[in-house]
Amino acid sequence: MMYNDAARVTLQTASLLAIASAFALLANAFSPVGIPVTRALTLRELDARYLTAEEAHARHEAGQSIFLDARPEKLFERGHIPGALVYPADEFEQRFLTTAAWLPKETELVVYCDGKGCGLSRQLADKLAAAGYTRVVIFYEGWKAWDAHCWPVER
């Protein structure tokens, strides 16, 4: 009986997952929102707003963009990209009140946080876009990548 149970569970689960997988791949192939499944997605494919570290650095060198640090203030104080403004995603409303008057909506804003897996930069970018900022990009690899490249920092 135990053997029958184990065999049935295994068979049902494996069949379910196999059939669902086949259906998923088929649906993805014909879906207008389908994605390539045989290769890694590029940063730009994941989000058109994502910048690589080199692109973010080039923008910083050009000096045409304003960098916003989406991390909490205590992390900003430990070190940040030179010239960046502290703009914690979790305090968006209060920061927005102080910056909205002088930060033109057409300014290119480069938002960043710790890097991969931080989530705050995307959250801040979404809020800024909803507030009317039309040129918001995300330095995806964020502070960790900047620091790892030994590019200038402010502490």
Partner 1 sequence: MFIVAGALKIVNPIGFARDITDYDLAAGLIVPAIAVVLPWWEVAAGVLAIAGRWRIGALTALTGMSAAFLIVGAITFARGLSPECGCFGFMSERVGPMSLTFEAALLLACVLLLRKEFRRPEEDRRR
Chain contacts with partner 1 (rule: CB under 8 A) = 1, 4-5, 8-9, 11-17, 19-21, 23-25, 27-28, 31, 33-41, 45-47, 116-120, 122-123
Work out how close the CB of 101 gets to partner 1 at its nearest, in angstroms, rounded to a whole number: 30
Closest to partner 1 by CB, 1 vs 97, is: 1
CB-count burial class (<10 Å; 0-12, 13-18, 19+) for 11: exposed
* CA–CA gap between residue 11 and residue 16 (Å, rounded): 8
Closest to partner 1 by CB, 7 vs 100, is: 7
Residue 133: CB atoms within 10 Å? 21
Work out how close the CB of 94 gets to partner 1 at its nearest, in angstroms, rounded to a whole number: 19
Q: 142 and 115 in contact (C-beta within 8 Å)?
A: yes
Closest to partner 1 by CB, 22 vs 100, is: 22
Work out how close the CB of 9 gets to partner 1 at its nearest, in angstroms, rounded to a whole number: 5
* CA–CA gap between residue 133 and residue 131 (Å, rounded): 6
Closest to partner 1 by CB, 50 vs 67, is: 50
Work out how close the CB of 97 gets to partner 1 at its nearest, in angstroms, rounded to a whole number: 24
The secondary element (H helix, E strand) that includes residue 138 is strand 136-139
- In single-letter form, the type of residue at position 143 comes to W
